[in-house]
Amino acid sequence: MESVTSASLRARVLETAAARFPSGSVVERADLLDFVVDGARLPLIDYSRGIRNPQQLDATLSVVSSETGPYSDRTIADGIWRYDFRTGGPGGDNAKLIAAYELKVPMMLFRKLRPNVYQALYPVFVTSVDRNAGYVTIAIEDLRDVGDHTPSAIEKRYASIIAKRRIHQPAFRAMVLRAYETRCTVCRFGHAELLDAAHITADSESHGDAEVTNGMSMCKIHHAAYDQNFLGISPDLVIHVNRELLAERDGPMLRHGLQEMHGQSITVPKAKNEQPHRDRLAARFEAFSAR
């Protein structure tokens, strides 16, 4: 059992983190290194190592997962990861990682999205240890029972459903809103609480990837209008409102919020590699035009 002192500090760290960036949030490296709990600085990640083992804790606090790093970290199924030991066998930093399994304590996993940017996922748990092969298996809380063995095809499908909600959708929204500077691409409305990451190619389709180029930041009204094909966006980035809606007469929301957008251009990210993919826009606009 984890000591009372260690368990209490771990709980306060997770509680403080939840107030600042809930699980699924995208967070900057600097914010993780400057993290403060109970008035004292306690970095959530190590400066140069993937495993964070604060001296005050009996077991690992967090790990950083990067599929492009020097180790063989990889996704076993959505929400379940193989995480390699740090070089040196079961001792050293790895001893506390093994202790996290033995003590069944909650940890944090920071999934590297790009340099200095991570998605925070917690609580996660070490669900198995292979000392001979030199790795552990880590799973998000909802998949603890799946992560302790090689998942079946049915379990992988279940994991995919859970991970879509817990991991992929939050990361997609955060990356899209950041690219669009927390503004609606149609009307420039700028309150994050009322903004969505709208898919161009629907995420239910096989190629509906959770990538910035397959998304646009939209306020709730324009997202709903886009999803229902009341509003379309052509590959030249021009907004189109369907004929029936243009002909309607109603209140100011219809007139100013939708009809006056017709023929305007959307606002896109400055970085070309974050702008909406033109081929995806073309396919989606074809469906809008056929309505």
> Which strand (E) or helix (H) includes residue 136?
strand 135-140
Residue written as token pair 């004929």 = 243
Whole-angstrom Cα distance, residue 45 to residue 154? 34
Q: Residue 206: its pLDDT value, please?
A: 57
Positions of E strands within 158-283 = 195-199, 215-219, 231-233, 239-241
Domains assigned to the chain: 4-151 (2.30.280), 180-289 (no CATH)
Provide the token pair at 80: 């379940």
Cβ contact 52:46 at 8 Å: yes
In tens digits, what is the pLDDT along the chain, a chain of 291 residues? 999 999 999 999 999 999 999 999 999 999 999 999 999 999 999 998 999 999 999 999 999 998 776 666 678 888 899 999 987 777 788 999 999 999 999 999 999 998 999 999 999 999 999 999 999 999 999 888 876 777 788 887 888 888 888 888 999 999 999 999 999 999 999 999 999 999 999 877 756 578 899 999 999 999 999 999 999 999 999 999 999 999 988 888 899 999 999 999 999 999 999 999 999 999 999 999 987
Residue written as token pair 């920071």 = 110
Whole-angstrom Cα distance, residue 233 to residue 224? 14
- pTM confidence score: 0.79
Whole-angstrom Cα distance, residue 6 to residue 92? 19
Whole-angstrom Cα distance, residue 79 to residue 164? 9
